[in-house]
Amino acid sequence: MPRMTMIEAIRSAMDVAMGRDENVVVFGEDVGYFGGVFRCTAGLQQKYGKSRCFDTPINESGIVGAAIGMAAYGLRPCIEVQFADYVYPAYDQIVSEAARLRYRSNGQFTCPIVIRMPTGGGIFGGQTHSQSPEALFTHVAGLKVVVPSNPYDAKGLLIAAIEDPDPVIFLEPKRLYNGPFDGHYERPVTSWAKHPLSETPEGHYTVPLGRAEVRREGSAVTVLAYGTMVYVAQAAAEDTGVDAEVIDLRTLLPLDLDTIVASVGKTGRCVVVHEATLTSGFGAELAALVQEHCFYNLEAPVMRVTGWDTPYPHAQEWDYFPGPKRVGEALVQVMEA
Amino acid sequence: MAEAGRLSLHVPEPEVRPGDTPDFSHVPIPRAGSVERPPVDVDPREIRDLAYSIIRVLNRDGEAVGPWAGTLSDEELLEGLRHMMTLRTFDARMLMAQRQGKTSFYMQHMGEEAVSCAFRKALEPGDMNFPTYRQAGLLIAGGYPMVDMMNQIYSNEADPLKGRQLPIMYSARDHGFFSISGNLGTQFIQAVGWAMASAIKNDTRIAAGWIGDGSTAESDFHAALVFASTYRAPVVLNIVNNQWAISTFQGIARGGSGTFAARGLGFGLPALRVDGNDYLAVHSVAKWAIERARRNLGPTLIEYVTYRVGAHSTSDDPSAYRPKTESDAWPLGDPVIRLKNHLIVRGVWSEERHKQAEAEILDEVITAQKQAEQHGTLHSGGKPSTRDMFEGVYATMPPHLRRQRQQAGV
């Protein structure tokens, strides 16, 4: 089976989806001729033509608003916002329109769009190339929110998202585009070529939305993670020797609560990790759900290891990023509680 | 030139306020028939003056004059009058229903009936409007049942939107009427996207976007004009300038720009201004722009110059911010009376027939109202089910919503 980077897998997903369904269109800033600033749409315009894959003016609200109109017509736009940090001008269109269209029109109009956006830090991106705004979307009824962590999932989840009848926010951890990253920034980066999850089928397949995956089985503590933090959590388990079960949530909304409850039921402990800031982050929802559904199994308070409640800094990158050291400390602490 | 001193902020003010004498002498109104009618494939650069004039067909004597006249037959005009009268009567009844507590909210069209009613008749089946909350004439003139509109307003058991939406936020896909949103301006760019989709699929259908004068200040107005211009989308972009955005006079949104239509010039769009109270002019201009779009010649921006005679909504009292008699002084008159007079001049209508029509229409609307009220009103009679509250958030109900529905006991 061919090996792909996450970029190649994402590109392949759009290629497959466009090949199968003429209603799939791809657009965004620099997405057309140039193939995207991260190369995720390279070659698609050449292959499918300018009416299927094209560049847009720099206007995120315009990109999403136009996509909603296209979806109302019957197309399936898979659009790109260059960085998740720049999605805010489109927030009105996403929250007030895309998320609500099916509900408010009683199904007369629907919005099967995918909004792809590179997310997350660990790349010295500073304040506006590092953010993880997933909680701003998981709070919105009507949206689905997906964060893949490897090439195989990225392709399968993206095809599933494009085929899904509802609007999907598809957050791509750009730190993982070229290889897995466990937060050990002092070590040389690895490429996807050596990772088993870079084996990605050429053709069509899907990874269903709403299902988590256990990445590391363990018996001592459940770690709930997604995106880059999946690798950080695995590294923390190896570094500390704590037998953590690492769950890659993959879809944050709707959430695979069953997998979470089964794991915490087994381990009795839970650590939630994400790059995003702590207060009212998605971790708060996860901690509350675990508390609600696993209260009688819990042997320690649910812990959260997240970004600090500050804007994402530049020089202090590794003091901000919740790396394996901080996650490891939490694993040890939750075991001692 | 004045010496540079300290700066001061300019905040535009309307000419008059409550207690003042209404005055529209500063609004230049060109003679009916005086504005040229360019070919639809005109280079937008050649008709920049149309963004600063007003296309008018009906003159003071009720005659249709000039190059924009003649797009409608007697029968079509009689039908148009009936649509406008129906909308006005519908408004009056629903306003009363709101006062009686049968619904929580209503917004009238008083004075703006010609805009949506005439525009609708220039469209073809399959075209899609992206309306605001003040274009119900698109539904009335499009043959959408009044009973269904009322069911929506009453949020009753027959409400097509299952009680989920605020009154008047209709949705009627099969009638080319996109779901109305409370968020202003959002639909303007969506109309462009719909039109782009039609072009992508090599279809023949076109879209129409709608926005008020106040909402042109929203960012999505700019987005719509940029995208429409860039992709030459087959869309007609309609600005209904009724002079008021709730309490805010149009100068706050328009600023130093001469007209709202003139905003289109910077985007390379043909921009026309039309007498919004002149049914014939609205239809003719709409037809021109729609033909342009359908012939793949690109988008058109149209400003309809009209006046919001009624309150902004049932929650608004205009006497707090404008003279009570301001609408009487509005130089473009009343769209219903102007078309009525024209039809009388044309010899196909009379005062008697008009009175008779008023009575017939009132009867029709009351009949529809009675029918709707059999299905309930907001606080009495049949209601949408609580289960409906949980449906339709997603195509398939996800587990967390199933749990919540169970908690709600339904």
Label residue B303 left, alpha or beta by phi (over 0 means left) and psi (-120 to 50 means alpha): beta
Q: Distance between CA atoms of A49 and A61, rounded to whole angstroms?
A: 24
Mutation site, A26, A52, A61, interface B, largest B CB count within 10 A: A61
Q: Distance between CA atoms of A227 and A295, rounded to whole angstroms?
A: 27
Across the interface, whether the CB atoms of A96 and B183 are under 8 A apart is answered yes
- To the query of whether residue A129 is one of the catalytic residues in this protein, the response is yes
Across the interface, whether the CB atoms of A61 and B223 are under 8 A apart is answered yes
Q: Distance between CA atoms of B209 and B199, rounded to whole angstroms?
A: 16
Identify the pLDDT of residue B3: 82
CA A293 to each of CA A222, A290, A304: distance values in angstroms, whole numbers, following the listed order = 14, 5, 17
Across the interface, whether the CB atoms of A106 and B162 are under 8 A apart is answered yes
Q: Within 10 Å of residue B255's Cβ, how many Cβ atoms?
A: 10
Identify the pLDDT of residue B25: 87
φ and ψ of A325, to 5 deg: -70, -50
Q: Closest approach of chain B CAs to the CA of A114, in angstroms?
A: 14
Contact of A110 with chain B, judged by CB distance below 8 Å, is answered with yes
The closest alpha carbon to A251, from A164, A123, A128, A130, belongs to A164
Contact of A92 with chain B, judged by CB distance below 8 Å, is answered with yes
Q: How many residue pairs from chains A and B have C-beta atoms closer than 8 A? A: 141
Please check whether residue A178 is in contact with residue A5, taking contact to mean a CB–CB distance below 8 angstroms: yes
The first and second tokens of residue A64, run together, are: 């999403």
Mutation site, B144, B151, B190, interface A, largest A CB count within 10 A: B190
Contact of B221 with chain A, judged by CB distance below 8 Å, is answered with no
Question: pLDDT digit string (tens) for B161-182?
Answer: 999 999 999 999 999 999 999 9
Contact of B226 with chain A, judged by CB distance below 8 Å, is answered with yes
Across the interface, whether the CB atoms of A109 and B173 are under 8 A apart is answered yes
Question: pLDDT digit string (tens) for B90-147?
Answer: 999 999 999 999 999 999 999 999 999 999 999 999 999 999 999 999 999 999 999 9
Q: Distance between CA atoms of A83 and B333, rounded to whole angstroms?
A: 52
The beta-carbon neighbor of A70 closest among B179, B194, B393 is: B194
Q: Closest approach of chain B CAs to the CA of A198, in angstroms?
A: 30
The continuous run of DSSP H or E covering A27 comes out as strand A24-28
Question: pLDDT digit string (tens) for A280-315?
Answer: 999 999 999 999 999 999 999 999 999 999 999 999
Q: Distance between CA atoms of B24 and B32, rounded to whole angstroms?
A: 18
Identify the pLDDT of residue B1: 62
Average pLDDT over residues A213-228: 98
Q: Distance between CA atoms of B312 and B244, rounded to whole angstroms?
A: 8
Across the interface, whether the CB atoms of A254 and B195 are under 8 A apart is answered no
CA A207 to each of CA A177, A203, A218, A251, B399: distance values in angstroms, whole numbers, following the listed order = 18, 13, 24, 10, 18
Identify the pLDDT of residue B26: 83
The first and second tokens of residue A272, run together, are: 């939630």
For the purposes of burial, counting CB atoms within 10 Å of the CB of A164, is it exposed (0-12), middle (13-18) or buried (19 or more)?
buried
Contacts of B395 in chain A (CB under 8 A): 102, 110, 165-166
Contacts of A52 in chain B (CB under 8 A): 200
Q: Closest approach of chain B CAs to the CA of A96, in angstroms?
A: 7
The first and second tokens of residue B219, run together, are: 């960012």
pLDDT of A171 > 70? The answer is: yes
Neighbour-count burial for B35-45, b at 16+ CB within 10 Å, e otherwise: bebbebebebe
The closest alpha carbon to B332, from B22, B50, B34, B60, belongs to B60
Identify the pLDDT of residue A72: 98
**Torsion over CA of B352, B353, B359 and B360, rounded to 10 degrees?**
160
Mean pLDDT of chain A: 98
| pLDDT beneath 50: ranges in chain B | none
The first and second tokens of residue B375, run together, are: 């299905």
Identify the pLDDT of residue B272: 98
Q: Distance between CA atoms of B100 and B369, rounded to whole angstroms?
A: 13
The beta-carbon neighbor of B394 closest among A69, A142, A257 is: A142
φ and ψ of B329, to 5 deg: -85, -5
What residues of chain A, 230 to 269, have a C-beta less than 8 Å from chain B? Answer: 253-255, 257
Number of residues that make up chain A: 337
Task: Say whether A74 sits in a helix, a strand or coil.
Answer: coil
Label residue A46 left, alpha or beta by phi (over 0 means left) and psi (-120 to 50 means alpha): alpha
Q: Distance between CA atoms of B19 and B21, rounded to whole angstroms?
A: 7
Q: Within 10 Å of residue B18's Cβ, how many Cβ atoms?
A: 12
Catalytic residue among A129, A139, A184, A293: A129
What residues of chain B, 57 to 76, have a C-beta less than 8 Å from chain A? Answer: none
Identify the pLDDT of residue B2: 66
DSSP conformation letters of B323-339: -TTHHHH-TT--HHHHH
The first and second tokens of residue B171, run together, are: 């949705």
Q: Distance between CA atoms of A177 and A251, rounded to whole angstroms?
A: 18
Across the interface, whether the CB atoms of B128 and A66 are under 8 A apart is answered no
Please check whether residue B237 is in contact with residue B188, taking contact to mean a CB–CB distance below 8 angstroms: yes
For the purposes of burial, counting CB atoms within 10 Å of the CB of A334, is it exposed (0-12), middle (13-18) or buried (19 or more)?
buried
**ipTM value for the complex:** 0.98
Q: Is the dihedral of CA B393, B399, B400, B405 positive or negative?
A: positive
What residues of chain B, 159 to 188, have a C-beta less than 8 Å from chain A? Answer: 160-162, 164-165, 169, 171-173, 178-179, 181-183, 186
Q: Closest approach of chain B CAs to the CA of A25, in angstroms?
A: 9
